[in-house]
């Protein structure tokens, strides 16, 4: 049997390129986490770029002056919201940590009452199985309480590190200034130091990637901001009405976080909350939460008619697989990063995917 070395060399090279690309994306995310203030600055600069162009067209001011004016206004708003949010979050997290044991004890009592109220003789469950179910329920509540306690403690530690936050914010603001004012100079430097062929190829892929990834991130940002603002306003209204809403900002953050996850929605957090409130006898709060969830769902349908995964041209099952893979590798944060990696891979290997991955690698 004659082995075609040329064929297998091509196959090996294609597989190597695929593997190196995946490793490169992994390292890029590691670097992105390390240089997070600059990444945030780059994203904010992209968001305020249309505002700078608008002010520049409407006035006779230079681009640098327009960038400074817009940056001062945006920074003042963001820093003001950041101070307000951190102050209120510290208060809410501190109060929740202090009363967490009471909530855990209440959960134990509720589970015990549910088990007692079920007529186990009718469904013929033995006492041994009942004990296993009860022990499993206790373990589940204990695991959830430990996770919540650890998460709240980590959040509290992060929020109280004021000097670190101040350094990150300062670096971020300065980076936004330089990116907005010296954008053309930075692009010229990149073109100067890279070969012309690289600039053409990288420029094409970067434009395509920014287009597809930008659409995805815009949709995600839209969902998060809308969900957070609407839920925050609704929860504060409920609080002023005298309903049992003790942690409106923290609850709005959780709702926005869940709603940001592809495929899942705000109902993943709000419906269980309404059910638990109804079980505890707080029917008014349960109805209010359901009404707020319906309002948010209607607003979301108007703001984002299609599901995010459809918007980016990827079937929901692949988005779900990417979320699960990201979760297994990086935890909760990976549920966000997984779909982003999927979009990047789809963009880079679009030709290969259109032809068929197996065919593109192994065809002669």
| C-alpha closest to that of 152 among 99, 106, 231, 110 | 99
- Whether the Cβ atoms of residue 335 and residue 305 lie closer than 8 Å to each other: no
- Ranges of each domain in the chain: 35-193
- Whether the Cβ atoms of residue 312 and residue 297 lie closer than 8 Å to each other: no
* Other Cβ atoms within 10 Å of 259 Cβ, number: 25
pTM for the model: 0.63
For residue 120, what are its two tokens? 């186990």
Overall size of the chain counted in residues:
364
Find where tokens 């995964």 sit: 309
Angstrom distance (rounded) from CA 74 to CA 46 = 13
DSSP letters, 145-183, are HHHHHHHHHHHHHHHT-HHHHHHHHHHHHHHHHHHHHSH
User: Each residue's pLDDT tens digit in the chain (364 positions)?
Assistant: 455 666 677 777 777 877 887 787 778 778 877 888 888 888 788 778 888 888 888 887 888 888 888 888 888 888 888 888 888 888 888 877 777 777 777 766 766 666 666 655 556 666 676 677 667 776 777 777 777 777 777 777 777 777 787 888 888 888 888 888 777 777 677 666 667 766 666 666 666 666 666 666 666 777 777 788 888 899 889 888 888 888 888 888 888 878 777 666 777 888 888 887 887 778 888 899 899 888 888 877 776 555 444 445 666 777 778 888 887 877 777 777 777 777 777 776 666 665 655 665 666 6
Angstrom distance (rounded) from CA 266 to CA 259 = 5
| Terminal-to-terminal C-alpha distance of the chain | 18
Q: Residue 280: which H helix or E strand, with range?
A: none
| C-alpha closest to that of 255 among 229, 287, 227, 213 | 227
């Amino acid at each position: 049997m004659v082995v075609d070395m040329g064929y297998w060399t091509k196959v090996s090279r294609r597989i190597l390129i695929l593997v190196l690309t995946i490793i490169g994306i992994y390292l890029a995310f590691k670097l992105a986490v390390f240089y997070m203030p600059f990444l945030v600055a780059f994203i904010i600069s992209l968001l305020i770029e249309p505002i700078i162009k608008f002010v520049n067209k409407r006035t006779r001011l230079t681009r640098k002056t327009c960038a400074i004016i817009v940056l001062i206004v945006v920074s003042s708003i963001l820093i003001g919201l950041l101070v307000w949010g951190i102050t209120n979050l510290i208060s809410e997290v501190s109060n929740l940590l202090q009363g967490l044991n009471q909530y855990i004890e209440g959960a134990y009592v509720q589970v015990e009452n549910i088990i007692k109220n079920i007529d186990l003789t009718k469904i013929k469950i033995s006492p041994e199985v009942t004990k296993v179910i009860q022990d499993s329920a206790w373990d589940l509540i204990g695991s959830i309480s430990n996770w919540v306690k650890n998460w709240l403690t980590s959040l509290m530690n992060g929020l109280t590190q004021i000097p670190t936050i101040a350094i990150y914010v300062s670096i971020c603001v300065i980076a936004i200034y330089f990116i907005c004012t010296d954008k053309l100079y930075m692009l010229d430097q990149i073109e100067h130091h890279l070969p012309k062929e690289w600039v053409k190829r990288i420029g094409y892929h970067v434009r395509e990637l920014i287009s597809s990834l930008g659409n995805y991130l815009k949709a995600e940002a839209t969902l998060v901001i809308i969900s957070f603002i609407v839920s925050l306003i609704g929860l504060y209204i409920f609080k002023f009405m005298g309903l049992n809403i003790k942690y409106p900002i923290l609850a709005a953050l959780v709702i926005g976080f869940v709603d940001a996850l592809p495929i899942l929605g705000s109902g993943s957090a709000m419906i269980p909350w309404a059910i638990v409130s109804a079980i505890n006898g707080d029917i008014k709060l349960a109805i209010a939460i359901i009404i707020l969830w319906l309002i948010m769902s209607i607003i979301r349908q108007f703001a984002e008619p299609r599901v995010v995964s459809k918007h980016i041209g990827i079937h929901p099952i692949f988005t779900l697989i990417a979320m699960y893979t990201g979760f297994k590798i990086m935890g909760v944060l990976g549920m966000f990063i997984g779909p982003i990696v999927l979009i990047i891979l789809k963009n880079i290997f679009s030709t290969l995917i259109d032809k068929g991955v197996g065919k593109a690698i192994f065809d002669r």
